[in-house]
Amino acid sequence: MRGPLMSSTGHAGLRVETPDLRLLCDPWVSPGGAFLGSRFPFPDNSHLRAVPRLLEAEWVAVSSAQADHMDVEFLSGLDESVRVVIPAYPSSVLHDRLSAAGVKNIVEVEGWQRVPLTDRGDWLTVVPEQSPMAHRAAFLVVADGVSVLHCNDARLSLSQTRRAMIEVGGPLDLLALDASEERFRAVKRLVRAVKPRLVMPYGGPGCFLDPELMEHNAVVAPGELPAETLTLLPGDSVRITPTSYECVRDPHWEGFAYSDSVAVANHLETYAASRAQEIADVWEAYPDPDAGSGLEDRFAEHFVRLGRMSPYFLERIAMTVRFKVAGADGGVWDVHLGTTDETAQYTFRVEARWLEAVLGGEIRWEDLLLSRRIHVEHAPEADGSYLFGLLMHADADALQAIEDYDKRDPDSTVTLTSGDRTFEVTRYCPHSGEDLAEGAVIDEAPEGLVLRCLAHNFDFSLTTGLCLNARCEPIVVAAPV
């Protein structure tokens, strides 16, 4: 058995190829980048567009509606016969956006449902994050007897990763995941716990090439993970058999390494120059609305509509949000979400041109928030989880699914141990519902033993149950047994 050839297509893109299977996961290859021309794959993967057949496939898997995973321009050019696999999320946003882009052959897959890819036993399934607050998912693929859990940007829990191992009948051959700085500690723990044969870390959120945003670039070489680690640049490949592997490096990257800061800086400079036209096109496509355009009225109507979507979210948000909108028709506008309090807990500064794009339905709040073309400030300890949930989803079905998830058996508890001490604690994290049976660790802190929820690293005192580093409801802790 030769084993599949897995190739990086940049960012979280992975190509899996066998003699009778070509599968592309989350290809992001269009020259215009994503999120209003703000983010681009790092490093530049544009040379791959000239590689014959590399971006052809019978199957394409798209993990989320986020524009660095759902490259609409690329997907809209696919042949009608290509089957596009997507996770079945509580809302139809991903499906609707693909359909609107002209994608015909969409295969919506429930979590853990197997999709046969060939008639030789290769298959794929999706593993959505546990909490419906984030619509992100991993792909679990078995090809030629080799397994890959391709996490995209999904944060899978230990229990989900263990189930993936059970599904494939043993250790994972390749675990590919986002090991950027903010996730690194959690990823390290996961890798240590599940012991894949190979781990492939890939880049974080992409890079910024608009001169206005380049200050946000912070390219960090992936850190050391406790497993045999493959760092693949766009165009690099690895052939994996059940007992061995062999990397094939793309000569395009001679002289480049993440750890070489001069090479990274030079690359960013050349890359930015090569995308100047695409970025200029974005600015031209979104002109500043004229004074008297009615932007403020459209803004107010928009938030009335959003506020009606979920009384549950309004109750959880309960804050005033201030928008400082720059432009000929801008102003300072407050939105009261579930409160009449005049004090703003969150302040957003944004240019009217980008806000208009959201109000007009051309882009989603998610695109704007991820673009860095909006600046966010907040009062210390203000918890924006539900505010951002409302904006990111802006969909009644998605919000209802989160409410249902939050309301799961609130009295359920779980027993956790640390050394010879045992604690009985609330099972589901009061922040966003992570199952603490699998998604928590007990750690020493200056305040004593804490339970750390690995979903967002909130610490809860195992003495008082109080959340120590954020504004969040406490957990209930029964006395140590």
**Binding residues for ligand FES (CB under 6 A):** 429, 431-434, 453, 455-456, 458
For the bound state, the minimum distance from the C-beta of residue 389 to ligand FES, rounded and expressed in Å, comes to: 12
Q: How far apart are CA 204 and CA 11, in angstroms?
A: 8
> Which are the contacts of 420, defined by CB distance < 8 A and separation ≥ 6?
none
For the bound state, the minimum distance from the C-beta of residue 319 to ligand FES, rounded and expressed in Å, comes to: 18
For the bound state, the minimum distance from the C-beta of residue 132 to ligand FES, rounded and expressed in Å, comes to: 12
Smaller CB distance to ligand FES: residue 139 or 313?
313
For the bound state, the minimum distance from the C-beta of residue 458 to ligand FES, rounded and expressed in Å, comes to: 4
- Residue-wise DSSP of 267-313: HHHHHHHHTHHHHHHHHHHSPPPPTTS-HHHHHHHHHHHHHHS-HHH
Smaller CB distance to ligand FES: residue 98 or 453?
453
- Residue-wise DSSP of 318-373: -EEEEEEEESTT-EEEEEEES----SEEEEEEEEHHHHHHHHTTSS-HHHHHHHT-
Smaller CB distance to ligand FES: residue 101 or 441?
441
C-beta pairs of 113-120 under 8 Å, 24+ apart in sequence: 115/85, 117/21, 117/23, 117/59, 117/141, 117/143, 118/18, 118/20, 118/21, 120/20
For the bound state, the minimum distance from the C-beta of residue 435 to ligand FES, rounded and expressed in Å, comes to: 9
- The separation between CA 45 and the C-alpha centre of its own chain, rounded to angstroms, equals 20
> Which are the contacts of 95, defined by CB distance < 8 A and separation ≥ 6?
86, 106, 108
Smaller CB distance to ligand FES: residue 146 or 472?
472
Residue type, 3: G
Smaller CB distance to ligand FES: residue 260 or 447?
447
For the bound state, the minimum distance from the C-beta of residue 447 to ligand FES, rounded and expressed in Å, comes to: 17
Residues in the chain: 481
For the bound state, the minimum distance from the C-beta of residue 457 to ligand FES, rounded and expressed in Å, comes to: 7
For the bound state, the minimum distance from the C-beta of residue 429 to ligand FES, rounded and expressed in Å, comes to: 3
> Which are the contacts of 267, defined by CB distance < 8 A and separation ≥ 6?
43, 44, 256
Distances from the Cα of 54 to the Cα of 51, 67, 200, angstroms: 6, 21, 20
Smaller CB distance to ligand FES: residue 327 or 433?
433
Smaller CB distance to ligand FES: residue 15 or 155?
155
Please answer whether residues 313 and 386 qualify as being in contact, where contact means their C-beta atoms are separated by less than 8 angstroms.
yes
Please answer whether residues 465 and 474 qualify as being in contact, where contact means their C-beta atoms are separated by less than 8 angstroms.
yes
Smaller CB distance to ligand FES: residue 178 or 288?
178
Smaller CB distance to ligand FES: residue 373 or 431?
431
Place of tokens 């297509």: 9
For the bound state, the minimum distance from the C-beta of residue 367 to ligand FES, rounded and expressed in Å, comes to: 23
Q: How far apart are CA 398 and CA 134, in angstroms?
A: 10
